[in-house]
Amino acid sequence: MDLASGTGEIARLCRNLGFNFTGLDWAEPMLERARAKLPDVTFIQADAECTMLPAASFDVIVTRHLVWTLVDPGAAFAEWHRLLAPNGVLLVVDGDFVHRNWFARLLAPKSATSQRASRHQEILNRVYFSKGARADAVTALLSTAGFREISVDYNLHGVHRAQARALGWRKSLLRRSEHRYVITARKH
């Protein structure tokens, strides 16, 4: 399961690795784009915090840049635990996209008057991780939801190098300066 699959990039990677995959997203326009790219993959519209899917349906759940947007991560993690088959694995790729260190502020200063920035802050105020989704806070909530064998990997240098070609030097440096991580956890 690819939660918050968006336009299907993670689903495409997993399909290319030979996995039978289902994508889930809340936004129908994103799903339309994913279905057009990957007609052989099942994409469904649902809420990642309450999927309404059968228990123990998936061996692996992957999510990228979703956790920091959750309103109720405790409920979402319990739902994902319910969806996993026994011994299933959760893979979370996320980060703290709220706190900006001095380097990030230097490379991309915020515009205090921007209407877009104001709307972003309004939305951010509604999510659980409005102060930033730090890995330790996420792992604590995963543990509470019943996940075990939780590990965090901060070494994303290979990913950053691969993205640098497409992102350009400024955005590539910004990505490297953020608190990004990969968390794996298992359902027993």
Residues 76, 61: Cα–Cα separation, whole Å: 12
**Higher-confidence residue: 22 or 163?**
22
- State yes or no: pLDDT of 81 exceeds 90: yes
Tokens 């088959």 label which residue? Answer: 85
Residues 12, 25: Cα–Cα separation, whole Å: 15
* DSSP β-ladder status, 84-96 and 148-153: unpaired
**pLDDT digits over 17-56, tens only?**
999 989 999 999 999 999 999 999 999 999 999 999 999 9
Nearest to 134 by CA among 67, 76, 46: 67
Name the amino acid, one letter, at 98. V
Residues 74, 44: Cα–Cα separation, whole Å: 23
| Contact by Cβ (8 Å): 81, 146 | yes
The arrangement of secondary structure in 47-186, i.e. its CATH architecture, is 3-Layer(aba) Sandwich (3.40)
Residue 138 in tokens = 């996420």
- Kindly list the domain boundaries of the chain, sorted by start residue: 47-186
**pLDDT digits over 3-14, tens only?**
999 999 999 999
Residues 62, 14: Cα–Cα separation, whole Å: 10
Q: What is the pTM of this model?
A: 0.86
- Cα–chain-centroid distance for residue 81? 16
Across 52-79, average pLDDT: 96
- Cα Rg, the chain, nearest whole Å: 17
